[in-house]
Amino acid sequence: MASMLPSYGGDINDVKKARLLLKSVRETNPSHPPAWIASARLEEVVGKVQAARNLIMRGTEHCQKSEDVWLEAARLMPLDLARGIVTHAVRHLPQSVKIWVKAADLEQEPKAKKQVLRRALEHVPNSVRLWKAAVELEDEEDARIMLSRAVECCPTSVDVSSKVYIYLLASSLFYYL
């Protein structure tokens, strides 16, 4: 377990100075996401994971519209807590593709991943990244339907159009066009 923690070989006085500086930044500008993230990472590096978690959770309260703070909070938490954090994050940032992708990544069952991605597409229907992730989880028939919908929602995306073309070639459906 100890080998999994980042190691810090610096002077304890440097850590104290960094803590004071970051505390000052957080107090002066509590809505500044990098201050919360840097504070949490400092604590993580010196082995104080719980302090890091506490700090980043305070950061989510002060920076509710920051993708990076929410993603850092999810990264620092155990899986069960990370899911809850991402659930709160999508309430504050329903248009965030990164948050939705993280929410899907945290699900272990393919069915749950599909549900998350479909819900994400309701909020961000023009995201090529979400469409690609959703299509990759589907069986052949559903993938074809989803790719068709993806082209409707992302008509200017060469990536989606190319994927539809390749998919049709690979599944021998191209012959019937």
Structural domains of the chain, ranges and CATH numbers in brackets? 1-93 (1.25.40.10), 109-177 (1.25.40)
pLDDT band at 5, cuts 50/70/90? Answer: very low
**Residue 162: its pLDDT value, please?**
57
Q: What is the pLDDT of residues 115-150, one digit of tens each?
A: 999 999 999 999 989 988 998 898 888 888 888 887
Range of weakest confidence among 73-77, 108-112, 170-174: 170-174
User: Would you state the pLDDT for residue 128?
Assistant: 87
CB of 73 closer than 8 Å to CB of 57: yes
Specify whether the backbone of 139 is left (phi greater than 0), alpha (psi in -120 to 50) or beta: beta
Residue 64 phi/psi, 5-degree rounding, is: -65, -20
Lowest-confidence pick of 6-20, 121-135, 158-172: 158-172
Give the CA distances from residue 84 to residues 1, 80, 142, in Å, rounded to whole numbers and listed in that order.
24, 7, 29
Predicted confidence band of residue 9 (pLDDT cuts 50, 70, 90): low
Q: Is 112 helix (H, G, I), strand (E, B) or coil?
A: helix
Task: Enter the DSSP assignment of 172.
Answer: T
